[in-house]
Amino acid sequence: MDNLNQLLSFSSLVQEDLSNVENRLRNSVKADFPALESALELIFKSGGKRIRPTMILLAGRMINAPHEKLVTLATAIEMLHTATLVHDDLIDNAILRRGSPTLNTHWSPGATVLTGDLVFACSARLAAEIDCIPAMKLFSQTLIDIVNGELNQMFESRYRPNREAYFRRIFAKTASMFQTGTVSASLITADDPQVKKAMSDYGYNVGIAFQIIDDILDFTGEQTTVGKPVASDLRQGLVTLPALIYLEEHPDQPDFTDLQHCENGQANEIINHLVEDIRASNAIQKAHAQACEYVENGLKSLDIFPDSPEKRAMQELASYIVERNF
């Protein structure tokens, strides 16, 4: 497991359960032969911050969710997240994920597709083991949203700044899974619409903020930290919030949407300039301020709950989301 969790104070409350999740993750995917075992080890080793299970475990504990189901839910969501990463890296031809080599640098595309499918299947089994039909339905709908979002992203116009499309995309890509996790924590506990609404708002808002920060880090991070070139989204024609804000505030810019008709070298030069301009502008700060607004909304949704160590940890987690720099 990533040692980072030991450094994050908000996760200390659920440290033991996070270890349980880690074990469940590894034990839920049985490898029939050594090559697959190594592949799965590679996938789970580069597991990152486990922010999704941490959030689910805290949320569930705060509202007294049944323990066993809660750990299963947290594992199912992290497994689903992991499955999407395996196929994403294949589709993007990514060679690094969080500084570690991706599975597709080791394996054939066919083997990588199947390994992703296996991890998807294991997440479906974990979801079934939660023994909660509404959570199961939410779970499968989330997978539909995520994949639809990715297909849309693949086929939609490149280099086109569009705020509505951006927020639809980051909901599908990230916030939907955060929201499904927190809502499911309420579904396995009791049928209380007020709690469910609060959980939904918290997961949604913190999820959106999380992705905005990821998109900011794509501009401000260094390649060695994020494992991909700076402004990798923009280089693929994907206009994220910092670029959106910059372009909105600089209508004098040459028409960015024409970039897809440029020759490669020329396009690179234009993008390099644009990236420098964005990094030097206040668009980064403004995007960050928007992420903070989402976090504020997420925090507000917790108002209905009495004070508790778990509630405070959820507040810290939400604040951490916009303070992290990796």
Residue ranges binding a second copy (CB under 8 A): 30, 32-33, 35-36, 87, 90-92, 109-111, 113-118, 120-122, 124-125, 127-129, 131, 133, 136-137, 139-141, 143-144, 146-148, 150-152, 154-156
User: For the CA atoms of the chain, what is the radius of gyration?
Assistant: 20
Nearer to a second copy, 128 or 299 (CB): 128
Residue 84 beta carbon to a second copy: minimum distance, rounded to whole angstroms? 8
Nearer to a second copy, 7 or 154 (CB): 154
Residue 249 beta carbon to a second copy: minimum distance, rounded to whole angstroms? 30
Residue 280 beta carbon to a second copy: minimum distance, rounded to whole angstroms? 34
List Cβ neighbours of 15 (8 Å cut-off, separation of 6 or more): 5, 6
Nearer to a second copy, 143 or 313 (CB): 143
Residue 103 beta carbon to a second copy: minimum distance, rounded to whole angstroms? 13
Nearer to a second copy, 2 or 129 (CB): 129
DSSP states of 39-106 as a string? Answer: HHHHHHHT-TT-HHHHHHHHHHHHTT--HHHHHHHHHHHHHHHHHHHHHHHHHHT--EETTEEPGGGT
> Residue 263, exposed/middle/buried by CB under 10 A (0-12, 13-18, 19+)?
exposed
Whether residue 99 contacts residue 35, with contact meaning beta carbons closer than 8 Å, is answered with: no
Nearer to a second copy, 11 or 104 (CB): 104
Residue 117 beta carbon to a second copy: minimum distance, rounded to whole angstroms? 5
d(CA 304, CA 215): 31
Cα-based angle 283, 165, 174 (whole degrees, multiple of 5): 85
Nearer to a second copy, 40 or 198 (CB): 40
Residue 151 beta carbon to a second copy: minimum distance, rounded to whole angstroms? 5
Annotate 230-248 with b (16+ C-beta within 10 A) or e (fewer): bbbbbbebbbbbbbbbbbe
